[in-house]
Amino acid sequence: MEDYYQRVYKIVEQIPKGKVTTYGSIARYLGIASGARMVGYALNKAAETNIPAHRVVNRNGELTGRAYFPDDTMRERLKQENIRFIDEYQVDIDQHLWDPNEEMG
């Protein structure tokens, strides 16, 4: 079901600069609250696209997907957007959280 991935990409593209969201929020918006894993899986493919997948982190704000980005691209991109880091590879999710369920309805 590639259409599923398209849905994920569409949402990730809507993430405003300086904001981040979680896999769970995206999954919930898609109607699969428990499909957070699928979101990350989709973003894996998104890593080779023009989609800002670096703005998506887990519920804890950890850059779990940094391994799928060349070097520290993911962290550099976030820092470039003035994202506050509470750890070397963990953003202040509570400060920059962007929930599509609230922003997009």
Question: What residue ranges bind DNA (CB under 7 A)?
Answer: 1-2, 4, 22-24, 27, 32, 34-41, 43-44, 46-47, 53-54, 56, 58-60, 64-65, 67-69, 74
The one-letter amino acid at 91:
V
Which candidate, 37, 30, 31, 33, places its Cα nearest to that of 9?
Answer: 30
As measured in angstroms, the least distance from the Cβ of 12 to DNA is: 9
CA 57 to centroid of chain Cα atoms: 5
CA-only gyration radius of the chain, Å: 12
Query: Closest approach of Cβ 85 to DNA, in Å?
Result: 16
Would you say 22 or 100 has its CB closer to DNA?
22
